[in-house]
Structure formats: structure tokens, C-alpha cells
Amino acid sequence: MYYKNSSYRKDLEEAIQGTIDFEALYGKILFITGASGLIGSFLVDMLFYANETRSAGIQVYALVRDREYAERRYRSFLDHPDFHLIVQDVCEPLLLKERADYVIHAAGDGYPKAFRERPVETMLPALTGTWRLLEYVKKERNSRFLYVSSGEIYGEAVGKEGAVGEEMRGFTETDSGYVDTMRSRSCYPSAKRAAETLCAAYHSEYGVDAVVIRLSHVYGPNVSQRDNRASAQFFGNVLEGRDVILKSRGEQIRSYTYVADCVSAMLTVLIRGKAGEAYNVSNPDARSSIAGFARMIAECGGRKCLFAVPNEEERQENTPIPCAVLNPEKLQQLGWQGAYDVSRGIRHTLRVMTS
């Protein structure tokens, strides 16, 4: 989609430079689920950019559900011998017959409309899909598995002033907050929690080499049209020449991660992370309230930021978590540092989407 865009290619280059020991991937085979999503598609582009500019010799097996969309998305290298498209639901028996050196599970819908309309289908890629992939890695041996989880697993902070107070240290990997398991909106964090434990169980019982990353709020230019998260709507407003519409007071504080930082952190954990452990992905310089994020997008796009009363469906989709700040110190100990604060990430997103 944006592969030949000069601004986007600069982001791909910076993401490679930001990945610790990126050369460890040279000549390897990577199997990526969710390869047409925001994160997966940037990752595939980044790997092929490395092949193009560094002769990295990385082979990519990209699992997607929608062949037509994927063929449009990857038309730049659809016929390349190092690119292999696998069309299937990750919950079904895997069609992959080759042994992959690295398996990255990034499949699943991570936006509020899916949580409201399809909570069962939201849970299954994390539950059944993760089980199928762990069984594959268990059988193949010598493969490393990375599960893409979410900061939503921390739930609502209960008596953890350090996570939400003035110091704003953020949730660390050992924190755990409240999730209402009898609310269908909890389909996402509950399934992610279960999938993480499944990774830990396979590591403990079978010695599977599995690591987990917990993402903060990721945004970027190659967001899916189905994604109705607030940040995606804000960018959509500007691109359509309209003012940014905020449908809540926007007081929730979040860690925001530009997709280039997200993928460089992901690959750093894939390469250097300790098996059986989880790592937060966030940049301490990229924290903002939702309202502040909306105002910054409006300002960068030359528009106003306005408030609108949400309808009933929109109220149902609102997250109950007042503070979603993640502490990245464990990730930083691997040598990774974020390159995009909120302002820079927003400017890059708009530059790529409008050039």
C-alpha cells in the first residue's frame, strides 16, 4: 500500500535501525499471522525492505484471511520468491508445511466494534489460534514463538497508585488489575490473558521457546478500514477534510506507540527476549490523554477538535480503564529505545497517508 512511499520507507529504515541485533534474522524463515493488519503489514514491509536494501534473504510466510485484500496490499512483492501467502483462519488446522525459524502471532481483531458485535470471534484467535501455533512450534522444535498480547490484560488498577498516580510509573509486567469476566467487552483482555498463560504453560511443560509482548495503543498509516478505535477515527476525520470529533471527555491517559517503534520493539523481543517472559512495549516519551492526542492530530492536520455526544453503541464500546500507561523498563534493558514521541508519530502518520 505504502511500500514505495518515500516517507514510509524512511520509517521502515528507522525501524530496522531501532531493532537490536536485526542481523539475527538474515536468512531466516518467519511465519506471521495477522499479516494484513496494522502491525503485521508494517512488519512484512520492513522485512522486504531489508531484503531489498541489505540482501537480508529473509523468507516470509504471511497468513491472512482475506486473499483479495492481501493481494492488493502486497502487490509490490506478491510474486517475489521470498514471499508466501497463506490464506486461512488461524483457528483452523495450519496449512504451513515448512519449518519456520520464528513464528509471530499477531492475528485477531483489536478494535471496539469487534468486541461489541463479535466477542466470540474476538476470543478464538487468541485461544484456539494460539494453541494451534504452539502445537506447531512444539512439533517443529528449534522455532521461537512470539505472542502479541495487549496492555488491556492489566485491567483496571486497584490500589496501585504507582500505576495511575502522579509518578505515572505505568504498569510493570508483574502488575494485574481487575477485569469483569462477565462483561462481553472483556472478551479481548480475558482471551489475551489466557493466551499468555498458554504460552507460559507450553514453555514450562514442553520447553517451547515462547515470549510475549504487551502492546500499548499502536497507531500508524496502514490501519485497517475496519478499525474504529478513537485514534483511527481522528486520523480519518482529518483525511476527509473534517474537524476531529471527540466522543468522550478523553481524560484516559494512554501510552501511544507509533507502528515503527512497535515493530522494532517486537523484533527486539523476538531476538533477545527471555523465553517464558512478557515485555511491555511503550515509549515513556509518548504518553497522552485521548483528548490531548485528538487535539494534536487536529493541530497537525489544520483542523479543529470538537466534542460530540456519543450514541449508545459508542458508549458500550468505551474502555473501562482510566489509565493505560505501560512501563517499558524491562524492554529497555534489552537495549531498545523508542524513536517516536506522540507529536512525531502523528506527523509521520499524516505525512505518509497524504503523500
- The CATH number of whichever domain residue 186 belongs to comes to 3.40.50.720
Question: Is position 200 within any domain?
Answer: yes
Give the Cβ contact number of residue 209 at 10 Å.
19
In terms of Cα–Cα distance, which of 236, 247, 226 is closest to 114? 226
DSSP state of 193: H
Over residues 4-11, the mean pLDDT reads: 96
The answer to whether residue 267 sits within a structural domain is yes
Per-residue model confidence as pLDDT tens digits over 104-120: 999 998 888 889 999 99
Q: What pLDDT does 112 receive? A: 83
Instruction: Compute φ and ψ for 235, nearest 5 degrees.
Output: -65, -40
Position 117 scores a pLDDT of 92
pLDDT (average), residues 264-272:
98
Give 197's contacts (C-beta < 8 A, 6+ positions apart).
none
Q: Are 90 and 107 in contact (CB under 8 A)?
A: yes
Question: Is 36's pLDDT higher than 90?
Answer: yes
Please report how many Cα atoms fall inside a 13 Å half-sphere around the Cα of residue 124, on the Cβ side: 9
Residue 193 domain boundaries: 6-159+170-218+257-282+326-339
pLDDT for the residue numbered 161 = 42
Q: Is residue 312 part of a domain?
A: no
Q: Into how many domains does the chain fold?
A: 1
**What would the 3-class secondary structure string for 13-69 be?**
HHHHHHCCCHHHHCCCEEEEECCCCHHHHHHHHHHHHHHHHHCCCCEEEEEECCHHH
In a domain, 310, yes or no: no
Q: What is the pLDDT of the chain when averaged over all its residues?
A: 92
**294 lies in some domain:** no
Compute how many other C-beta atoms are within 10 angstroms of the C-beta atom of residue 138: 17
Examine residue 344 and state whether it is found in any structural domain, yes or no: no
CA 331 – CA 340 distance, rounded (Å): 16
289 falls within a domain: no
pLDDT digits (tens, 9 = 90+) for 123-134: 999 999 999 999
What are the strands, taking DSSP E only, across 39-160? 59-64, 83-87, 102-105, 144-150
Whether 183 is covered by a domain: the verdict is yes
The whole-angstrom separation of Cα 109 and Cα 308 is 26
pLDDT > 90? residue 313: no
The pLDDT tens digits for 297-311 are 999 999 999 987 667
- At residue 141 the predicted structure's pLDDT band, cuts being 50, 70 and 90, is confident
Query: Is 166 a residue whose pLDDT tops 70?
Result: no
Residue 162 has pLDDT above 50, yes or no: no
